[in-house]
Amino acid sequence: MLCSSDSSDFYGIELLVLTGTTEHPVTIQRVPARTSAVEGPPVTIPAQELGRLEILAGQGRVRSIIRCHGQEVMALAGPHAIPTLDASPRRDERTPVCLDPGTYIHWESGIAVIANLATSTRITVPGEVVAQLLGPHLPAWQAQLLLHAGVLQKGPTPAGEPGRWWSFEELLSYNRSRLGTHLGEYGGSYTRATAHGSIPEWTDGSEGAPACEPEPVVAAGRTLGECLTNRHSRRDHSAPPASLSEVAALLTRSAHATPCDPDPGQGTALYSLPYPAGGALDELSHYIVVNRGVHRGADLSHSVFRYDHLSDAITPVAVNAAACDRLCALYARMGMIPPDELQYLILVACDFPRLSHKYESVAAALMYKHVGAWMQTASLVAEDLNLAVCPLGGGPADILDSLFTEATTTTSGPKVVGEFVVASRPAAESAGYAAAKSDRRTP
């Protein structure tokens, strides 16, 4: 803290509880300053109130502001712990600490923002406080170096991007994947393969489980032009559910992998896929989450299956039932579909090390391009199979960790990077589809 050891000084903690879009002050705690902030008597907060505030803060509904001599020196927003002496964990002075690898700091409208890639918490420090920490004047040679590196700008007001249309995080992802603003090598460098060896293995709990044998599904035989013309997102899931075999047919035609000759440089297995895939590494995998579905007359609700790209097998995966229910409810809301009507959700996961062992700087960009290419392919196949599909724009980052009960999902394991809802079409639309199909077959 920027406080002296004079007991007449204090720092304050102001807590603001979020109600809708409005912040309401709850309490202000003033704590006698010490040379060490962990010494001295604890802050007095009624236990009931502190417990309520801790819950709200953990939900991201409290904004904590720390002031010194009336000046704001730090603010915390998003899920965090209440920064009071009796509530915050006290660090053992013998335990070393370091910055988490996912922590980053950037400048935003004159404020230093500290955040971590794994959370939505933001710590902000006013620019004048940062200036005090750096010193009142920066030596000319240091300023020149930082100006040339683009770290500093001339003038009192920052200009350019990130700004009104790009956030720092969005621009970071874009610029680091483009030639000229990338870091390290660019493209198929095999840097990580050389440094770390083979691609790490992982399991999702489906190994050894009996596969569900899909039934044959007859497609309509629509032309590519017809599929392109008629393709659009369909969110009506009110009809009787599609069968698991129909969803399996969608994946077989849009995601089946055919082995090719291994990569001559590294010996890595390569695959031919129905959609464009840089490197032919087949890093995407597909999981079918059933909210309302059937297979051979049996109800499959609240179950999950893994699609095998090579054998086209559909294998059940052991999952956390409560997490599965929450997942279906979440994606139903995101897709504006009544939760009790949602039929199938396809999760597209990426085994990122399969890409990053070869590609540097562009691996993440390739991952998202491949997901989009599969979604377009699957959308066209769905037109021919008379299925209603809709790609979704996003979702949580920890889906597989919460869903699988037997999975080994570490930081090197697969991450969900795409979501796709699937359903049968309403009877009226299906009847029109069948009539059009019959007309096309009439000589």
The DSSP code sequence of 164-228 is SS--HHHHHHHHTTSTTS--S--EE--HHHHHH-SPPP---S-TTPPPB-PPP-------HHHHH
Q: Compare 203 and 362 and report the one with higher pLDDT.
A: 362
Q: How far is CA 338 from CA 107, 233, 235, 332, in A?
A: 42, 16, 10, 6
pLDDT tier at 375 (50, 70, 90 boundaries)? very high
Is the full-model pTM beyond 0.85? no
For range 263-290, the mean pLDDT: 90
Residue 51: the pLDDT is: 75
Dump the DSSP string for 296-330.
Answer: TTEE-TTEEEEE-TTT--EEEE-B-HHHHHHHHHH
Per-residue DSSP letter, 246? H
The tally of CA atoms less than 13 A away on the side-chain side of residue 111 is 17
Out of 27-36, 80-89, 376-385, 427-436, pick the least confident.
27-36
**CA distance linking residue 97 with residue 366, whole number of Å:** 35
**CA distance linking residue 33 with residue 3, whole number of Å:** 6
Which segment, 98-102, 143-147, 357-361, is predicted with the most confidence on average?
Answer: 357-361
**CA distance linking residue 253 with residue 275, whole number of Å:** 10
Q: How far is CA 206 from CA 213, 214, 300, 404, 420, in A?
A: 15, 17, 16, 10, 21
For range 261-289, the mean pLDDT: 89
Residue 278: the pLDDT is: 92
pLDDT in tens, 199-229: 877 777 666 667 777 777 878 889 999 999 9
Residue 149 CB: number of other CB atoms within 10 A?
8
* Ranges assigned E (strand) in 220-297: 258-259, 271-272, 284-290, 294-295
Residues 6+ apart with CB under 8 A from 286: 251, 255, 306, 307, 309, 346, 347, 348, 349
Residue 171: the pLDDT is: 82
For range 185-199, the mean pLDDT: 86
pLDDT in tens, 391-424: 998 999 888 888 886 544 444 578 999 999 999 9
Dump the DSSP string for 83-151.
Answer: --TTTSPPPPTTS-----TTEEEEEETTEEEEEETT---EEEEEHHHHHHHH-SS--HHHHHHHHHTTS
pLDDT tier at 6 (50, 70, 90 boundaries)? very low
Dump the DSSP string for 331-378.
Answer: HHHHTT--TTT--EEEEEEE-HHHHHTTEESSHHHHHHHHHHHHHHHH
Which amino acid, one-letter code, is at 162? P
pLDDT in tens, 39-67: 334 345 566 667 777 788 888 877 787 77
CATH number for domain 197-441, candidates 3.20.20.70, 3.40.367.20, 3.40.1390.10, 3.40.109.10: 3.40.109.10
- Asked whether 352 and 365 are in contact (CB, 8 A), the reply is no
pLDDT tier at 126 (50, 70, 90 boundaries)? confident
Residue 132: the pLDDT is: 64
For range 147-152, the mean pLDDT: 60
Out of 35-49, 98-112, 267-281, 365-379, pick the least confident.
35-49
- Largest Cα separation within the chain, whole Å, is 97
Residue 85: the pLDDT is: 41
For range 374-389, the mean pLDDT: 96
pLDDT tier at 240 (50, 70, 90 boundaries)? very high
Q: Which helix (H) or strand (E) holds 2?
A: none
For range 345-373, the mean pLDDT: 94
Residues 6+ apart with CB under 8 A from 418: 347, 348, 371, 374, 375, 391
Q: How far is CA 81 from CA 51, 57, 121, in A?
A: 11, 6, 10
Instruction: Give the mean pLDDT of the chain.
Output: 78
Q: Compare 152 and 35 and report the one with higher pLDDT.
A: 152
Ramachandran quadrant class, 386 (left: phi over 0; alpha: psi -120 to 50; beta: rest): left
Cα-Cα-Cα-Cα torsion 149, 150, 154, 157, nearest 10 degrees, comes to -150
**CA distance linking residue 443 with residue 439, whole number of Å:** 9
Residue 337: the pLDDT is: 96
pLDDT at 38 > cutoff 50: no
Residue 371: the pLDDT is: 97
Instruction: Express as a percent the part of the chain with pLDDT over 90.
Output: 36
